Amino acid sequence: MAEHIQQGTSRRQFIKSAAVGTLGASLALTSKVNAKENSGLVSNSFDEAPFLPVPKHAPAKEGVFQVSNEQGIYYWDTGGNGPVVILVHPGRGSAYSWPYQQDAFAQAGFRTIAYSRRGHQGSPIKSAEQPSTDADDLLALINHLNIGKFHIVGLAAGGFTVTDFAVSFADRLLSITIACSLFGMWDKDLDTRSDFILSKGFADLPPEFKELGPSYRFAHAEGVKAWIAMEKQAKEPGLRNRQKDKNTITWQKLRDLNLPIFLLTGGADLYQPPALMRAAARQLPGCETLVVAEAGHALQWEQPNMFNHAVISFLNKVTV
């Protein structure tokens, strides 16, 4: 039986509810959000969570697009004639962060593409000079692939690229999905409150502790090992010169986009807990939200059935 966690629920009640709950995929979990009401929803069951083995990447066209004389961008592309979905990876990831999504999205009829930003697996940085931006790199890649309008899905730090691209090139987008991310938005109020979330010394903790939820780490040792291996390969050795943003992102700029927006987070996400996501959603009237019980920051990896079902359902509702 599904149980809604309402906005007034205490932190202790929320933790207790999440601790005994596991996920059941259901379209009913996606909720309309406006400035007055934006409760996150979770599904509770006493069944064992359906943690899945990590699949191999399905066959897809692979390539390295030379975005400049010195910089290549690795990508894979499932092909097909359906609407295009571009997956933008987290900071501890690459184009290889999406093994659970590649085939699932393609089977749902979407031409699915993922790429590695500069400095990530397959896209090593060869020059300290980084005159471009992530948004410009993505624009160059989609132009190279002859893509018109597309859906964009960003996870964690990938959400920063999503908002920067959206503000820069909104006419190229059909919809925006952002999971477990702070959007590249440095809102003073949210930033101040976010300082209370992560304790001193948090940055020195193991990546798998910070990124994966405790339920997943407890129940799926093989999945944790696979995630650690993926994370260790995600960053290319050598230069680490992060590109500058193309825009300063504000709530008003995002509201002015007039695009369908879907926000997701995990109930156990240490970086973006549900309360933070709901605070952000209040700034974006009409967006949709989803809280996935027990999941941590690597939502697409820990609970791929829920993630895929929810995102694909949202994309299918968008008029092409």
What is the 3-state secondary structure of the chain?
A: CCEECCCCCCHHHHHHHHHHCCCCCCHHHCEECCCCCCCCEECCCCCCCCCCCCCCCCCCEEEEEECCCCCEEEEEECCCCCCEEEEECCCCCCHHHCHHHHHHHHHCCCEEEEECCCCECCCCCCCCCCCCCHHHHHHHHHHHCCCCCEEEEEECCHHHHHHHHHHHCHHHEEEEEEECCCCCCCCHHHHHHHCCCCCCCHHHCCHHHHHCCHHHHHHCHHHHHHHHHHHHHHECCCCCCCCCCCCCCCHHHHHCCCCCEEEEEECCCCCCCHHHHHHHHCCCCCCEEEEECCCCCCHHHHCHHHHHHHHHHHHHHCCC
Burial of 15: CB neighbours in 10 Å, binned 0-12, 13-18, 19+: exposed
Q: What is the predicted pLDDT for the residue at 244?
A: 82
CA distance 242 to 117: 10
Please, are residues 166 and 254 in contact by the beta-carbon 8 Å criterion?
Answer: yes
Q: What is the predicted pLDDT for the residue at 154?
A: 98
Query: What number of other Cβ atoms are within 10 A of residue 70's Cβ?
Result: 11
Tell me the longest C-alpha to C-alpha distance in the chain.
Answer: 57
Torsion (CA) 115, 253, 248, 203 in degrees, nearest 10? -60
Please, are residues 92 and 234 in contact by the beta-carbon 8 Å criterion?
Answer: yes
Q: What is the predicted pLDDT for the residue at 243?
A: 79
CA distance 241 to 149: 30
Q: What is the predicted pLDDT for the residue at 9?
A: 37
pTM of the model: 0.83
Query: What number of other Cβ atoms are within 10 A of residue 11's Cβ?
Result: 9
CA distance 114 to 108: 16
CA distance 309 to 96: 20
CA distance 278 to 263: 9
Q: What is the predicted pLDDT for the residue at 308?
A: 97
Burial of 41: CB neighbours in 10 Å, binned 0-12, 13-18, 19+: buried
Q: From the CA atom positions of the chain, what is the Rg in Å?
A: 19
- And the tokens for 306? 């829920």
Q: What is the predicted pLDDT for the residue at 319?
A: 64
Of 292, 296, 222, 195, the C-alpha closest to 54 is 222
Burial of 180: CB neighbours in 10 Å, binned 0-12, 13-18, 19+: buried
Q: Which residues in the chain come in under a pLDDT of 70?
A: 1-50, 58, 191, 240-242, 319-320
What would the pLDDT profile of 25-54 be if each residue is shown by its tens digit? 333 343 443 333 344 444 454 445 567 788
